[in-house]
Structure 1
Amino acid sequence: MVIEAVLATFHLFVAGLAGGGPLLVAGLRLWWRRMETEPASDAGLRQLAVWSVGAVVLAAMTGLVAGAWRAGVGQGGYLEMLARFPARAYAMVAIEWVFSIACYGGWLALWNRWSQKPWRHGLLALLGATNLLYHFPLLMISQNLLVEQPNLVAGSVVARPLVVQLFHTPLVMAKASHIWAMCMLVSSCGLLMAAPVVRLHRVAGVVGLVALVVQFVSGAAVLGCLPADQTQRITGGSILATALLVLGVLMGIHLLMSFAKLALNPASPAKPGLVSGMVVGVMLLMSLAARL
């Protein structure tokens, strides 16, 4: 359980950077090109872009390792769930991943050449990021639900129309919203670490603050959409799970205050490592609470 939670936390962190980082970087470059002749801290933004592209590879590797771990320990229903998806579904997953890598690769390769064309350049980042953010969280969430509740999709084979219907159920959308907000939260940490400039600290603070608010709201929505027995277990049925949840919420409130301080007073000393560590800590606590 602990190993699975650690793998899930690392996977979510790098996947969040892979999906949210390019959107944040492309948006900032576009904004600066509209406001200034030369964008400030472009080197820092490029560093974050490089980290984001590397995170796409790390996310895929960690996801495969986590899947192999779950299969190896014989987690009930996991292999059976995987077998319900046709081979072409996994081929499409690979194609979607390669497409995003290609978009990101072109985005980095044209960094300087298209620096005066921020809309065109940003479109590559947008295509790669939205492709990742739409397909992968929704698919992973749906697969995990099918492990717990195989009857969510009737029939032995999970055809694409059936899984797309599952994508748009309230619980899947609430969980996806939680993950999308987490992507921007992780990306704000990446921005703090890649570009130590005062006005970028303000941007990171605002992005992190908004992302955390959305996470609190979407997290409450997830609890509201879960089956009654799961909600009861997390909110009082299991003392340990409830304690982890409360500790995660308290740490999240502290993070909220830290990002608010950055947004309102960006000149104050920032501690990117500490902020990023707290984000990882909250993710790990919530991951453990969900698995107890």
Structure 2
Amino acid sequence: MATLVSVEQVEQSPSAPIEIEVPASTAWPLVLSFGFTLMFAGLLTSASVSVLGVVLAVAGCVGWFQEVFPQEHEETVPIVFEERRIATERRVVERVPVAPDLVRAWLPLETYPISAGLKGGLAGGVAMAVLACTYGLVKAGSIWYPINLLAATVYAQSLKLGAAQLNSFHASSFAIALVLHAIGSVFVGLLYGAMLPMFARRPVVLGGLIGPVLWSGLLYSIMELLNPLLASRVDWIWFMASQIAFGVVAGIVVVRQERVSTRENLPFMVRAGVEAPGIMAPREGGEKRP
């Protein structure tokens, strides 16, 4: 056995020795590990196997300690000097292609403006509301049934409504459900606008089908805490169908919007897709942006 030392290390230390001492090779650790293996294997096979394992483990411990105490067993190995040369067979340097006007690389390089997420969230919210109200008509004969159930998430009075009252109109419950649904739709739509560019292939399938199914599974596990009334009366097949309707419609609306470059230094108005004279650069040929 020889030890490799670079030429730079020798130049830094001219008085470096030609030979060094290293711990001597020993097989006792393998004997010890094999003994422990037989000890535990005997618990499932036979006691004689465990006895053999104990004997080997004791022998391995004794032999290993004798390699260290009272004096360490060492062996002298020569030093072989090696000159390190860094070379490559490539003649062309590979470079990662990025947008030329970016200060640093951002992934994805293009994303949807904030307005795309808002449009997708509101469109998906309408599709989800239509399907939920359809469920109310089929289940209870009233479109107010799912609305009152949604309001029970934060409105304690909805929890006190009886079966007949859940099918009637309540202005307070309607207002609360409308606000909750609008806020949730907008935030999820913004999330879709940010995440869909990361899906290079079939973003609508991933965001419109797989995403809602995972989201429905999460809500199923915590619905009892969020809304006990909804958890006791919800039809999860209709619930998942409404989530999928939201995801598909929101995804289609978002992917049809024009992408913008992902740049941190762009003003907020430009990233939101809002016309901002003096900030947005004119198009080629002097055309004005619509």
Structures share a fold, TM > 0.5? no
The TM-score range, normalised by the shorter chain, is under 0.3
Q: Which has the higher strand share?
A: 2
TM-score normalised by L of structure 2:
0.24
TM-score normalised by L of structure 1:
0.24
